[in-house]
Amino acid sequence: MAEISRILGSDNDRSLLDVGTGTGFILLKAAALGFKCTGLDMSDGMMNEAKKHAADLGVDVSFVKSYVEEIPFENETFDIITNRSLMWTLTEPQKALTEWKRVLRPGGEIYCFCHISANRGKHNHYEQDIEDILPLKTALTCPQSSTR
C-alpha cells in the first residue's frame, strides 16, 4: 500500500479510473487511500469479484462495463488513469492510449503497472512496442511476495 501511495501521491482528492480493473487490485488500494475511484472492465465475472472485495474492505467505488478503447465518459473526466497487467493484452494499444488521454484532465497522469520479466526472450518485441508508444516515466522494483 505504501508503494501505491508513493506512486499516486498524497493528493487523494482526485478522481481515478482503473481501466481493465479485473478484480480491482489497484482500484481498491487507491480507494482505501481516499481517491474517488471508478473501475472499468468488460468482464462481469471480474467486476463481481472486485465488488465483493470492495464490500469486504468497506470502500466506496463505482464500476462501469466497457471496453478500454471506448470509455463512456466525457472528455477530461479523470485526474489519474491506472491499469495493471493490461497493456500486453491489448490488440490496439495506441487506440486505448488515445482514448485514455481523451478522458484524462489536463495535467493528469497515466500509470501502467506491469510485470517485466528478467527472462524477456523472444517475446520482447511487444514490450518494446509498448515502450515506444508510452515512454517509461519510472521503473520500480518490487520484491516478489507470496502474499497479495
Task: Tell me the pLDDT of the chain averaged across its residues.
Answer: 80
Higher pLDDT among residues 17 and 84, named by residue:
17
pLDDT of 25 higher than 80: yes
Give me the mean pLDDT over the 72-95 stretch: 86
Q: What is the pTM of this model?
A: 0.76
Give me the mean pLDDT over the 80-105 stretch: 85
**Alpha carbons 17 and 25: distance in angstroms, whole number:** 13
Write down the pLDDT at residue 49.
96
- Report the Cα 62 to chain-centroid distance in Å: 14
- Per-residue pLDDT band for 15 (boundaries 50, 70, 90) equals very high
Domains of the chain listed by start with CATH number: 12-133 (3.40.50.150)
- Per-residue pLDDT band for 1 (boundaries 50, 70, 90) equals low
Cell numbers linked to 124:
520482447
Choose among 135, 112, 134, 130: nearest CA to 120: 130
pLDDT of 3 higher than 80: no
